[in-house]
């Protein structure tokens, strides 16, 4: 699962039968800082997302499970429209010294 922004649509007339009636959107995968993460991807929309929406999407075989016909040749699907991203950059790792003891040893040297 990853964040992405909807940047466009894709229209295809000649396609696999299982893709009939599905909306294909072009999305740009993002990190939580809203920086691009790789290149744009065509994904099937399951939540009526639109241009400019921040969404979350899944990849791999599971993407097809979100469709009415789960044996469709699909490897990316939009699964939600994101309302809010709550990411705290100050939080870091709690008890880092306790979990990564070797790190502290090298830091001290």
Partner 1 sequence: MILARVKGNVVATIKYPCYAGHIILIVQPIDEHGKDKGDSFLACDAAQAGPGDVVLVEREGNTARQLLGTPDDPFHSVIVAIVDKVIVKE
Q: Which residues bind partner 1 (CB under 8 A)?
A: 1-3, 31-33, 35, 37-38, 46-48, 56, 58-66, 70, 77, 79-89, 91-94, 96, 98-103, 106
Phi, psi of 44 (to 5 degrees): -80, 135
**Contact (CB, 8 A) for 66 and 44:** yes
Smaller CB separation from partner 1, 11 or 93: 93
For the bound state, the minimum distance from the C-beta of residue 54 to partner 1, rounded and expressed in Å, comes to 9
For the bound state, the minimum distance from the C-beta of residue 79 to partner 1, rounded and expressed in Å, comes to 4
41-45 and 2-10: which strand pairing?
Answer: unpaired
Smaller CB separation from partner 1, 23 or 56: 56
Neighbouring C-beta atoms of residue 44, cutoff 10 Å: 22
Instruction: Say whether 107 sits in a helix, a strand or coil.
Output: helix
Smaller CB separation from partner 1, 9 or 87: 87
């Amino acid at each position: 699962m990853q964040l992405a922004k909807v940047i466009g649509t894709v229209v295809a007339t000649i396609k696999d039968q299982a893709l009939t009636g599905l909306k294909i959107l072009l999305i740009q995968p993002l990190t939580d800082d809203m920086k691009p993460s790789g290149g744009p991807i065509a994904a099937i929309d399951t939540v009526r997302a639109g241009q400019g929406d921040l969404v979350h999407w899944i990849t791999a075989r599971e993407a097809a499970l979100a469709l009415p016909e789960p044996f469709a040749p699909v490897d990316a699907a939009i699964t939600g429209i994101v309302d809010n991203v709550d990411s705290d950059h100050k939080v870091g790792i709690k008890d880092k010294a306790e979990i990564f003891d070797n790190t502290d040893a090298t830091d001290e040297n």
